[in-house]
A and B are shown apart, each in its own frame.
Chain A
Amino acid sequence: AQSVTQLDSHVSVSEGTPVLLRCNYSSSYSPSLFWYVQHPNKGLQLLLKYTSAATLVKGINGFEAEFKKSETSFHLTKPSAHMSDAAEYFCVVTLGAGNKLTFGGGTRVLVKP
């Protein structure tokens, strides 16, 4: 069994300040983890993924995430928020290629000018 918990349903940041989106997972086996972003009425775009290689994963648009097995966490960060980062972010876990995805509840990011 697997599950994902995104600890914040909403995050509000000022433009130019750091962003932290928290994600904890539960999995019986070594999981693969993803972060996706969704803009209103759009599909999902992959930001980055962890699949048992380097624990610090760099993604697109300046985002990165660190897989911490001891803490069962996969938090997403960005050093400087941009207005275009305002969107919904999903942390996702799967047991491996071909397996179904389990989504966290999502975190809505608001960026203030």
Chain B
Amino acid sequence: GAVVSQHPSWVICKSGTSVKIECRSLDFQATTMFWYRQFPKQSLMLMATSNEGSKATYEQGVEKDKFLINHASLTLSTLTVTSAHPEDSSFYICSAILPTGDDYGYTFGSGTRLTVV
């Protein structure tokens, strides 16, 4: 079935540095991807909707200059956390809409655990 590959699965970085998380759709084209953030023992919160070839749409309260989203191809979306701080430590998950003709739904990456020290 349609799979989304997310890398890295975990990353530790120093405060003030930037971290890039990649989300690739395997064997299908993902025109739309979603980025979520999940704090410990909490639900997923949508951060932004990423559309191939256009600017991402950010949810209210999400800083677009801090969380840079790029969706330059139909198989790759990236989330860059810029000037990371400890409060950015979280679990980040991407999701893609399954292609038309496939079983309607959404597929999720395996997540990235970001720890900022």
Q: Chain A residues in contact with chain B, CB under 8 A?
A: 32, 34, 36, 41-46, 49, 51, 90, 97-98, 100-106, 108
A sample of 26 cross-chain residue pairs with beta-carbon separation below 8 angstroms, ordered by A number, consists of A32-B104, A34-B106, A41-B10, A41-B111, A41-B113, A43-B6, A43-B93, A43-B108, A43-B109, A44-B44, A44-B95, A44-B108, A46-B105, A46-B107, A49-B105, A90-B43, A97-B97, A98-B32, A100-B46, A100-B49, A101-B106, A102-B46, A103-B43, A103-B44, A105-B42, A106-B42
Which of A34, A90, A97 counts the most chain B CB atoms within 10 A? A97
Give the top 3 A-B pairs by smallest Cβ distance, nearest first.
A43-B110, A44-B108, A43-B108
Closest to B110 in A: A43
Quick one: CB contact mask for B68-105 with A, threshold 8 Å, 1 for yes?
Answer: 00000000000000000000000101010100100011
A43-B110, A97-B97, A97-B100 are known contacts; what are 7 more A-B pairs with Cβ within 8 Å?
A43-B111, A44-B108, A51-B104, A90-B43, A101-B46, A101-B106, A103-B45
How many Å from the CB of B73 to the closest CB on chain A?
19
- What is the number of residues of chain B that contact chain A, defined by CB distance less than 8 Å? 25
A32 and B103 alpha carbons, distance in the complex (Å): 13
Residues of the B chain whose Cβ atoms lie less than 8 Å from the Cβ of A97: 97, 100, 104
Interface residue B34 (Cβ < 8 Å from any Cβ of A): yes
Given contacts A100-B34, A101-B34, A105-B43, contact A42 B111 (CB under 8 A): yes
In Å, the complex CA distance between A102 and B106 comes to 12
**B 10-41 binary contact with A (CB < 8 Å = 1; else 0):** 10000000000000000000001010000001
Task: Knowing A51-B104, A105-B43, A106-B42 are in contact, say whether A44-B113 is a contact too (CB < 8 A).
Answer: no
Q: Assuming the A-B contacts A49-B105, A101-B34, are A41 and B46 also in contact, with contact meaning beta carbons closer than 8 angstroms in the complex?
A: no
What is the CB-to-nearest-CB distance from B106 to chain A, in angstroms, rounded to a whole number?
A: 6
Determine the chain B residues whose CB is within 8 A of the CB of A46 once the complex forms. Answer: 105-107
